[in-house]
Chains A and B, each alone.
With several copies, the nearest count.
Chain A
Amino acid sequence: MQVRVDSEYCKGCQLCIIVCPRHVIEEGKELSERGYAPPIVSHPEKCANWKRNDKRKAVCETCLLTCPDHALEWDERPGGQQGVDQE
């Protein structure tokens, strides 16, 4: 399971980056439609929840709880599978 950035809501404050104790998230460069630079989940595998696949059982979650714009959410697919398009 990994955090996903919703670039429609993200305002690029980068708080998720600094609160994550495991350095999962990194600064983004690209501007969104609304002119902000959403961060990039560059090291999903470092996340405390990487091995989990049920958001109800998530630990840590500091990034989600901190993100002021509800721009982070869980992709519940287990570690490594998030890149896989299931359709």
Chain B
Amino acid sequence: MEDFFDLYRKDRWPTIFCPGCGVGTVMNCFYRAFSELDIDQDRVVFVSGVGCSSRIPGYIRADSIHTTHGRALAVATGLSLSNPDLKVIVFTGDGDLGAIGGNHFIHSSRRNADMTVFCINNNIYGMTGGQASTTTPHRAFSTTTPYGNMEFPFDLAELAVTAGANYVARWTVRNVKELIGSMRKALVKNGFSFVEVASPCPTGFGRRNKMGDPKQMYEWLKIKSVRKEKSEFWNMDPVDLNISGQITIGEFVDRNRPSLGSMLKSMMNNE
């Protein structure tokens, strides 16, 4: 793919995303990762739920389905099982995947369903105007946590690992090169691959946490992120790390358990 608009729908540009929204950066990185691989654009399906992040497939010039809030992975499961020749790629957000869609997330990981999932974790519900999500840091402000978030966040990547995914990585939008690398790896992986991207939502999250300017959000992402290798060296418990508001970045798992599709195939061949 030579041109960005070979992949994206120029007729729908510019996007609805706010200035400085990380969703756009993820789209860039995805373009790079995808275009470097030899994937037939007519044999890919993009799936999403509902949210700002979930709007990406609507901008991609390929078969794409914007499902109901939280259901992307379940739809993708049916889709990839019914036509295993298609590459199925999901774009989702922390709310879509981690809140309402949490069950499909862990079950798709467990089944090692054949799909690549990119989750834009902006620590907030962007689309609906800035309510706390399941990854909003402890004590952070949002329209539904006016006194600070009293709950503790999920570590989505660790959940995917525990549930059984084949490939799991997390980066921030500041790590564009590493992100592209992980995206590429995820795209060629069999089974369930998952890349989480810590991403700014200046409008929904930043504004209420003294980071209304995208630049401040970038600064924050830089300060908060810790390389996985480091956290391992210091032997930090992932749950604690996450609670303290750190974002561990790196690759979390890279394994080759058989995928759901391959298991069903072997069953039908009486293996």
- In the complex, A touching B (Cβ < 8 A): yes
Hey, which chain A residues are within 8 Å of B173, CB to CB? 66
Chain A contact residue count (CB 8 A cutoff)? 19
Expressed in whole angstroms, the minimum distance between the Cβ of A36 and any Cβ of chain B is 7
Q: Does B165 lie at the interface of the complex (its beta carbon under 8 Å from any beta carbon of A)?
A: no
Q: Does A47 lie at the interface of the complex (its beta carbon under 8 Å from any beta carbon of B)?
A: no
Chain B residues touching A, majority SS: helix
Chain A residues touching B, majority SS: loop
Given contacts A62-B176, A65-B29, A66-B173, contact A15 B218 (CB under 8 A): yes
- Is the pair B17, A15 in contact by a Cβ cutoff of 8 Å? no
Q: Does A50 lie at the interface of the complex (its beta carbon under 8 Å from any beta carbon of B)?
A: no
- Is the pair A14, B215 in contact by a Cβ cutoff of 8 Å? yes
- Which of these, B20, B23, B177, contacts A15 with CB under 8 Å? B20
- Is the pair A64, B28 in contact by a Cβ cutoff of 8 Å? yes
- Is the pair B215, A69 in contact by a Cβ cutoff of 8 Å? no
- Is the pair B13, A65 in contact by a Cβ cutoff of 8 Å? no
26 A-B pairs whose Cβ atoms sit less than 8 Å apart in the complex: A8-B14, A11-B14, A12-B19, A13-B202, A14-B213, A15-B20, A15-B25, A15-B214, A18-B215, A18-B218, A64-B28, A65-B25, A65-B28, A65-B180, A66-B25, A66-B28, A67-B28, A68-B22, A68-B23, A68-B24, A68-B25, A68-B27, A68-B28, A69-B14, A69-B17, A70-B28
Q: A13-B21, A14-B20 are in contact. List 20 more A-B contacts (CB 8 A).
A: A11-B14, A11-B18, A11-B19, A13-B19, A13-B202, A13-B214, A14-B213, A15-B214, A17-B215, A64-B28, A65-B176, A65-B180, A66-B25, A68-B17, A68-B22, A68-B24, A68-B28, A70-B13, A70-B24, A70-B28
